A and B are shown apart, each in its own frame.
Chain A
Amino acid sequence: MRKKCLTAESAESAEGAGVFLLFLRVLGELRGKKMKGMMMRKPPVLLSACLLVAGTALPAHADGERFDVRNPGYQSECAACHVAYPPQLLSAASWRAVMDGLPKHFGSDASLDPAAHAEILRYLEANAGRRDTTAAGKPQLRITETRWFVREHSEDLPRDVWKRPAVKSAANCAACHTAADKGDFSERTLRLPKGVQK
């Protein structure tokens, strides 16, 4: 049951979420529009429904910022070097642009054999976010430069937070989101490293 809560994050595209949506509709508590909120600030109704489904698994303040990143190819090829960034955080156009540039992937050679490349691209496209992630007419490649990311990280954080030794880079989600490797970006797992005050 818990899996349904995880996949509900990408409810518009993820497998299994249809059943979950149906369940919510039966509860008569959800209008389609609300699912567009996708990753942040879920309407409380979704959370409560999720809690209902999960039984006791989730704490009361879980906030729905959880993503299913359990794709074997994505994990073994991409997550070897960095956190398995949730596919929902970039649009399909951005993911295509990222995957087109793997031989020079942010300064590293991350090239893949054609089979792995096709499989991972399919996974990313199928689970991509609906938000437009373009800047100046071009697909953005860095999640950390998207309007959504900048907005989410603008409150109360020191300006140099990304440069702190314990953080190193804005791409290092796990410095603060301690369960980022599992796709869990909930408040419950958020711990600012020593020396970084909110």
Chain B
Amino acid sequence: MRIFAGLFLLALASTAVFAQTPADFLAGYSQEAKQANPGHGEPSAQRGQRFFTALHGQEWSCASCHTRNPAAAGKHAVTGKLIEPLAPAANAARFSRTAKVEKWFKRNCNDVLGRTCTAQEKGDVLAYLLTLK
């Protein structure tokens, strides 16, 4: 019995570590942004939307693939491959695993901005995505 109880607790603990919610990510980015710049306020959905649709000195914006409505499916700008919706309300798999989220931010920010995104930019974009239903 004790072993089972131990395993159960372990399973609970690992769920807490690995299964994250979009709100966890938002809180994390907000905290990180404040650490980098103490004067920084809360993530802004409006700023996030502007960031999402604007070009940043490269060929593509976020919307080039995810479209201007990230609650709907998008399409890869080069290959035409279907991209599932990005907004968590439309696709529960989004913003649920750190490794995946960070991998895509790394790749896509590099494509869209030619650099990594700041915690503030990530927080703003996520705040925007969370306003979509």
Chain A residues at the B interface, C-beta cutoff of 8 Å? 80-83, 103, 106-111, 113, 168-169, 171-172, 175
Interface size of B by CB at 8 A reads 12
A–B pairs, 12, beta carbons within 8 Å? A83-B79, A106-B78, A108-B78, A108-B107, A108-B111, A110-B107, A111-B106, A168-B80, A169-B78, A169-B80, A172-B79, A175-B80
In the complex, how many angstroms separate the beta carbon of B91 from the nearest chain A beta carbon? Answer: 13
* Assembled-state Cα–Cα distance A171/B76 (Å): 12
Give chain A residues whose Cβ lies under 8 Å from the Cβ of B46. none
In the complex, how many angstroms separate the beta carbon of B39 from the nearest chain A beta carbon? Answer: 31
* Assembled-state Cα–Cα distance A172/B82 (Å): 11
Give chain B residues whose Cβ lies under 8 Å from the Cβ of A103. 110
B111 close to A83 (CB less than 8 A):
no
B80 close to A81 (CB less than 8 A):
no
Give chain B residues whose Cβ lies under 8 Å from the Cβ of A171. 78-79
How many pairs of residues, A versus B, come closer than 8 Å at their CB atoms?
34
> Of all chain B residues, which has the CB nearest A111?
B107
B2 contacts the other chain (CB 8 A): no
Kindly name the residue among A80, A168, A169 whose own CB sees the greatest number of chain B CB atoms within 10 A.
Answer: A80
B133 contacts the other chain (CB 8 A): no
A172 close to B106 (CB less than 8 A):
no
In the complex, how many angstroms separate the beta carbon of B45 from the nearest chain A beta carbon? Answer: 26
* Assembled-state Cα–Cα distance A190/B110 (Å): 36
Give chain B residues whose Cβ lies under 8 Å from the Cβ of A108. 78, 107, 111
B106 close to A81 (CB less than 8 A):
no
A108-B111, A109-B110, A109-B111 known; A81 and B76 CB under 8 Å? yes
* Assembled-state Cα–Cα distance A106/B81 (Å): 15
* Assembled-state Cα–Cα distance A114/B17 (Å): 22
